[in-house]
Structure 1
């Protein structure tokens, strides 16, 4: 899973024709194009850092039955590594094309075909072997090469621990970076087996998809031998090496290992890892009806990792953010359990059965997201997981689907360079939400059986969307063609509203009315529950939940006729559906009067979300929401609801801060009211509770007045404390960032002192951020020049900290002198091949302000950037839309 990643992208919606889903079986014993065509079109490969789908289809006609034998030599001093790869494969009898082998920006010293050195061409991104050097049938191509280690978290990444000088290596390949480790055919539908020999320093551990079967001593090195693996796509192959600390456990007959850097070992709580791992194994083995196929299971916590985690076969990589240097909240432990389950679900769905091309990435990620949440809800130690899903993943989906960058779930992906532009709230959130409603639509057991049949039928093969949908349809005996077209091939978010009438306190008529945006007019069918709530004394209780399959513009709710006239009607009770809800006026009035009386925490969560959406949509003034939240938050007891209120409160205050800064109206007093509220709630929170941890975090990030910055300084210096709350090193960095941001106290000396105490990688990055965020012109110049002129001297993970801190919203005057240089730098990055840096720079650095002038500038920029890569265009379009929303929100004040 690439969650971009947990901080966790874009596409242009493309027109897609209707796909007929017949559910018919097809021959999948080899990639679809290998045996079905007797002739091939000749094709010259485009010079590009990306692999294009049309070329990949042609190459899959050339090549089959692939096996890789890898030799890799690593050390702990060089900035490059070397290797020899034997590629064994069958070549079609009617091959009409030269053969290309993917290999990104290395040095190739020799290429042999069947033992004989041959003429070849290598131009930066791939090796070309003339067709005359190859013969039909089995071939072995041997490539000797060298390549620099990566510093951007992709390919084979090298990290030097600043605390002890230890070197750690790990790989991250999705979608098209495996060829930064070894030359090969880097496309998902050319599955292969892998055997490997790795030479590495003798105190290192080496990890890949299988366990070693022999380790030989060789001077100061060891030579690790790894036997042939199962057959899978190269983007989920892996190589990790270094002096990792290791912990071991077992689930039934499956060996489990956990790895982390030595300097983080003291902070690793193995129960937080192994317990959810075992729970997930039991659940998935039972649910899928297919035993875990890859024998062993390792989890490696890696430094500088760009995503949340990645599902490498039997060797999953995790971000070090999942190791806390202090006590974790239940929410943080739950998040880790969810990610563990997500990556494990991929072992079946994605690794055992794999999409043919990257247009299927959404299904890979959506399915793992849904299944992880299902596992946590049904088989873990955690409660109320679907409330967490609703307030997090699903809201990400709603925001994405309600944005200018919305797109269909299923989209063409012309090249690997476009693949990650679909890593967004549609790919993960909407896809998972749509899958979540399928068990209600098809029946839970029908859905499970369809999934199980799909995995059994297509094990170790590649599939298209119709293969998956076909198995679901057959299990439920339903025609899924219209559903697929409406939900997967059409973009947009629908809204439903209940119209009803009562007479003599009984419902006499009720209809669900569905609408769609003008730009995306599709009306959909799905199954929801209409919740009828009655006020009984001081309790607003659910009187009835009526299941309804609605479709079209209007659907009659027959089972509501004769029911008692409700105080609140909510047409997505229990959150079955993926849809926006427009409350009727009576229900809205009842919510405003009795929100804390609503019996169901899930219902309160959804109602608060509706109010927050109203602020975002400029239908409710931000100051009214803030005052309403202040009046009601202390009456709420549920952690998830409180978290939602506080997040929405902080967002609404963002609009009011903007109004104050632009001198439209002064909301400073209201801001201080919220600061005081957060402090009061921190002081009232039970010692050691999740609420205490949450309110502490909110309070620190929100404090900016002298009174509260003074309080933060007292906490930092140990002069003020809260029972049950430990101020660990990471909390100290949070305070220091705030003191530097607002130049409070002796902030420079405090930062210098803290840097001496914490020279860890996390400490180095936090120290840089705390300096960068200072509102000082010389600091901005120093770090801006680093980003623009010398980015190669720092890792991408460090550059991100700099860019996040350079120009906070309130520092727009300091940003102004750099505006032209920022905009001039984007085309330069766009012309390069570093998509990670391009995306990070665009999302962090493009200037914007909540003014009509800024809105016009961004609109002009959209036109100028139309031909740029999606990482840029999407960011500018989203920024333009958000500025427009902000302007509308300020007009309500």
Structure 2
């Protein structure tokens, strides 16, 4: 990474000098397995006599010609930037190079399918990686048209932002000459190539155009690609967004490509969206994952307007792209698909992510200070996505959905194909709503931290409410108290269910807000602050309501209300206000009645963290045993073939710890034990084997045997995880060395190795990695690309130890490396915060 950075100041200076007209990019993908030939011709205007640079990371630059003059490559090229001096008013630059294929998901990723040996390529350019494929002014505000010409095997599919032309074929080679794109940013250009299987369809846009649709995946996964369903969701999304925005889809076609070894969930390349192929379901997945796929499809579609048609000027407004897409996709999911409880999912998953991120020492305002590319890389976080989406939801509630959409539509029309800043959007929203948003922006977008709201209630001896006040607090580091629009719900038992019997909606502001309208009411069994989840704030239950939750959470009828109570209970556990052992009891007693898949998924994940890291070490082994016993009982009692049964079995495999648990896993794997309607498919077999490995009941031989039956990309990833799960210090050190000491493992193998390394019941096997990890930090950061460095430094951190030894080692590194790159220090600061939180929780649990 050193030398590959770009600062905001440099970008501003370059944008003041240069306006780009067009790129002609010719790529020859037939030159071997390591490099491809890249020829770029850029036409741009500049201040006559000025100097600047163009970005290009390559293996070899063969020639650089500026306005017909060949430049000395050795003098102008440093491997990252090409210096351009004495520019003319109008310029033409041609760069010929050999660029590298990657297996890190940054640039042009090359993957060989172990099933059939076929080669698949795809690009991933956000944030700064189009420069790994062609010479480019790599910043979002230097938009241009892009014309791609691609030479590849004639039997391949070749896909880019414009419609794929018929190739000119010469023997076994074809050349595809694409039409120029509209003016777009380089990071949303795209190239996908290989023998992908494709299903085609079309739809009619609101302006009467026929928009071609395509869905692509690898040939060996094609039988699992449910293209008709994706087309259906896509059509629903088109109709919803075009109606709400009042602006037709801006591009000429819409392809969705499911690609291997993808680092993120998806990427909004204009008209050429790439998705992780884990969304091609080769085996059973939870309903939570199925719903997440729908939200992701609609998230990327929303970006075609917000991000692609109108693009941020610089990465400090990345949040606005992602927050808008997060909010809009959840709205579309709830209102235009069968997943009508999408806002419950948003509360359970997205807001939990946001609250966690907002309580780290590294929290930042939604409008973050982005000084350089390294800053933006670490800001794809819970603030940028989930907190921003939550705050937009609150803004919509304040100005009204019709006015909000009217303003958004005006924003798209006014700034189409241009670059904007936050003020440009607020201007249109103020015009549409008649509200001044300056103070709202200052309080919500320019300050960090999350407020906590808790009820303070006075009652008579017979339960009549005499006073009701909502207390608002803020952390000392981020002391802002904010205005909140929220509801308070009263819940009472009716016919065996806890149902809302009374609701009041109000504005909360300042340290205390009295609610006189509740005085005189009989205190109910459960009082829920932020009922309906209108506000972005942590909530606390009063003591009586917490007791009701512990006893009767399963009986709350409304799934969103349940999700809020689940969230409040977990947050109090994380904050060491309530013992982790109480949370374990809460989950085991109530999760069996939960109906929402994402709520189950999140609670089970938190259950594992509580049992392994938050309970006091003296009772950890016993707690893990009880959790395993409870999960097995829940699996046996669950509805046959249900999502809950499937999730309980998976969680049981991940937390198994006793000989009895091992026998149950062996029985499921061999078929000697069966749960009604539970199919033991390839992915579940790996989870069951992982549980055996965790307990020392299986090892390398069994992993190799399973891989022999599933030698696929997914199987190899699972095998890497299983090998790293082997519960001995020697195996953990070997797994660590396999990805740290040797470069070359793909991004997914690195990630799955990290998952296995962290999978322990007895974390003491990781003790030997504490010095090893901290000694390796600098070397990893210096020698790897960002995505791989992050995967290593996050995935291999021995957080499962959760002890003072680990905390001291990390504090020591931070003290000794005060001048380290801020993005790198942030990762370690967040690790330390996690360990310190676990230690506080352990002390409370004592």
TM range (shorter): over 0.9
Shift of 1:843: 1.1
Matching of residue 190 in structure 1 with residue 142 in structure 2: yes
Deviation digits for residues 721-758 of structure 1, max 9, x if unmatched? Answer: 2332221111111122222222215x443222222211
Residue 675 (structure 1) aligns with: 628
Shift of 1:589: 3.6
Shift of 1:469: 1.6
Residue 207 (structure 2) aligns with: none
SS at match of 1:575: coil
Q: Specify whether residues 570 and 713 from structure 1 end up closer, same or farther in structure 2 by C-alpha distance, changes over 3 A only.
A: same
Which of 3, 7, 10 is the aligned partner of 1:55?
Answer: 10
Residue 408 (structure 1) aligns with: 365
Residue 890 (structure 1) aligns with: 842
CA distance in 2, matches of 1:681, 1:47: 51
Which of 227, 252, 255 is the aligned partner of 1:298?
Answer: 255
When structure 1 is superposed on structure 2, of 728-737 and 782-791 the one drifting more is 782-791
CA distance in 1, matches of 2:611, 2:763: 18
Q: Specify whether residues 254 and 765 from structure 1 end up closer, same or farther in structure 2 by C-alpha distance, changes over 3 A only.
A: same
Residue 130 (structure 2) aligns with: 178
SS at match of 2:767: helix
CA distance in 2, matches of 1:265, 1:639: 27
Shift of 1:96: 4.9
Which of 758, 762, 765 is the aligned partner of 2:714?
Answer: 762
CA distance in 1, matches of 2:128, 2:198: 29
Shift of 1:779: 3.6
Q: Specify whether residues 225 and 865 from structure 1 end up closer, same or farther in structure 2 by C-alpha distance, changes over 3 A only.
A: same
Shift of 1:213: 3.4
Q: Specify whether residues 331 and 86 from structure 1 end up closer, same or farther in structure 2 by C-alpha distance, changes over 3 A only.
A: same
Residue 26 (structure 1) aligns with: none
Shift of 1:572: 0.3
Q: Tell me the TM-score normalized by structure 2.
A: 0.94
Q: Specify whether residues 128 and 355 from structure 1 end up closer, same or farther in structure 2 by C-alpha distance, changes over 3 A only.
A: same
CA distance in 2, matches of 1:529, 1:642: 25
CA distance in 1, matches of 2:408, 2:766: 52
Q: Specify whether residues 607 and 757 from structure 1 end up closer, same or farther in structure 2 by C-alpha distance, changes over 3 A only.
A: same
Q: Specify whether residues 52 and 568 from structure 1 end up closer, same or farther in structure 2 by C-alpha distance, changes over 3 A only.
A: same
When structure 1 is superposed on structure 2, of 238-247 and 104-113 the one drifting more is 104-113
Which of 462, 468, 481 is the aligned partner of 2:425?
Answer: 468
Shift of 1:818: 4.0
Q: Specify whether residues 857 and 827 from structure 1 end up closer, same or farther in structure 2 by C-alpha distance, changes over 3 A only.
A: same
SS at match of 1:348: coil
Deviation digits for residues 493-528 of structure 1, max 9, x if unmatched? Answer: 111223344568655543322211111111111211
Which of 771, 774, 780 is the aligned partner of 1:820?
Answer: 771
CA distance in 2, matches of 1:689, 1:641: 15
Report if the CA contact (8 A) 2:612-2:620 is conserved: no
Shift of 1:557: 2.7
Report if the CA contact (8 A) 1:687-1:724 is conserved: yes
Shift of 1:842: 1.4
Shift of 1:235: 0.2
Equivalent positions of 1:838-877 (< 5 A) are 838-848=789-799, 849-877=801-829
Shift of 1:635: 5.0
Structure number with higher relative contact order (C-alpha < 8 Å, ≥ 6 residues apart): 1
Residue 752 (structure 1) aligns with: 704
Matching of residue 353 in structure 1 with residue 310 in structure 2: yes
Which of 107, 110, 126 is the aligned partner of 1:155?
Answer: 107
Which of 797, 800, 805 is the aligned partner of 2:751?
Answer: 800
Shift of 1:79: 1.1
Matching of residue 217 in structure 1 with residue 174 in structure 2: no
Residue 10 (structure 1) aligns with: none
Which of 8, 23, 36 is the aligned partner of 1:68?
Answer: 23
Residue 716 (structure 1) aligns with: 669
SS at match of 2:167: strand
Report if the CA contact (8 A) 1:846-1:876 is conserved: no
Report if the CA contact (8 A) 1:326-1:726 is conserved: no
CA distance in 1, matches of 2:44, 2:569: 59
Shift of 1:223: 0.7
Deviation digits for residues 327-359 of structure 1, max 9, x if unmatched? Answer: 343322211111000011100000000000011
CA distance in 2, matches of 1:448, 1:388: 23
Report if the CA contact (8 A) 1:294-1:314 is conserved: yes
Deviation digits for residues 766-800 of structure 1, max 9, x if unmatched? Answer: 222212221245544544333233213x2222122
Q: Specify whether residues 734 and 379 from structure 1 end up closer, same or farther in structure 2 by C-alpha distance, changes over 3 A only.
A: same
CA distance in 1, matches of 2:742, 2:605: 37
Shift of 1:51: 1.6
Report if the CA contact (8 A) 1:87-1:140 is conserved: yes
CA distance in 2, matches of 1:363, 1:345: 12
CA RMSD of aligned residues (A): 2.3
Q: Specify whether residues 781 and 443 from structure 1 end up closer, same or farther in structure 2 by C-alpha distance, changes over 3 A only.
A: closer
Matching of residue 552 in structure 1 with residue 503 in structure 2: no
CA distance in 1, matches of 2:168, 2:779: 48
Equivalent positions of 1:477-492 (< 5 A) are 477-492=434-449
Q: Specify whether residues 502 and 738 from structure 1 end up closer, same or farther in structure 2 by C-alpha distance, changes over 3 A only.
A: closer
Matching of residue 286 in structure 1 with residue 250 in structure 2: no
CA distance in 2, matches of 1:174, 1:351: 12
Deviation digits for residues 373-422 of structure 1, max 9, x if unmatched? Answer: 11101101113111111110110000111222211111221111221111
Report if the CA contact (8 A) 1:409-1:426 is conserved: yes
Q: Specify whether residues 871 and 320 from structure 1 end up closer, same or farther in structure 2 by C-alpha distance, changes over 3 A only.
A: farther
CA distance in 1, matches of 2:729, 2:583: 36
Report if the CA contact (8 A) 2:355-2:450 is conserved: yes
CA distance in 2, matches of 1:552, 1:666: 41
Deviation digits for residues 424-458 of structure 1, max 9, x if unmatched? Answer: 11111111110111111111211111111111111
Q: Tell me the TM-score normalized by structure 1.
A: 0.90
Matching of residue 260 in structure 1 with residue 211 in structure 2: no
Equivalent positions of 1:600-619 (< 5 A) are 600-619=558-577
Matching of residue 595 in structure 1 with residue 547 in structure 2: no
Report if the CA contact (8 A) 1:201-1:220 is conserved: yes
CA distance in 2, matches of 1:698, 1:784: 25
SS at match of 1:722: coil
Residue 498 (structure 1) aligns with: 455
Equivalent positions of 1:231-242 (< 5 A) are 231-242=183-194
Number of residue-to-residue matches in the alignment: 836
Which of 55, 58, 62 is the aligned partner of 1:109?
Answer: 62
Shift of 1:807: 5.2
SS at match of 2:666: helix
Deviation digits for residues 80-104 of structure 1, max 9, x if unmatched? Answer: 0002111012223xx4531311101
Residue 91 (structure 1) aligns with: 46
Equivalent positions of 1:347-746 (< 5 A) are 347-502=304-459, 507-536=465-494, 538-636=496-594, 639=597, 641-655=599-613, 659-660=616-617, 664-665=618-619, 667-668=621-622, 670-744=623-697
Residue 36 (structure 1) aligns with: none
Report if the CA contact (8 A) 2:259-2:277 is conserved: yes
CA distance in 1, matches of 2:235, 2:661: 45
Q: Which runs of 5+ in 2 are unaligned?
A: 205-209
Q: Specify whether residues 439 and 422 from structure 1 end up closer, same or farther in structure 2 by C-alpha distance, changes over 3 A only.
A: same
Shift of 1:632: 3.7
CA distance in 1, matches of 2:383, 2:197: 37
Matching of residue 343 in structure 1 with residue 300 in structure 2: yes
CA distance in 2, matches of 1:650, 1:147: 44
Report if the CA contact (8 A) 1:150-1:158 is conserved: yes
Report if the CA contact (8 A) 2:107-2:123 is conserved: yes
Shift of 1:537: 6.4
SS at match of 1:365: helix
CA distance in 2, matches of 1:256, 1:606: 39
Q: Which runs of 5+ in 1 are unaligned?
A: 1-45
SS at match of 2:200: strand
When structure 1 is superposed on structure 2, of 589-598 and 493-502 the one drifting more is 589-598
Report if the CA contact (8 A) 1:838-1:871 is conserved: no
Report if the CA contact (8 A) 2:159-2:192 is conserved: yes
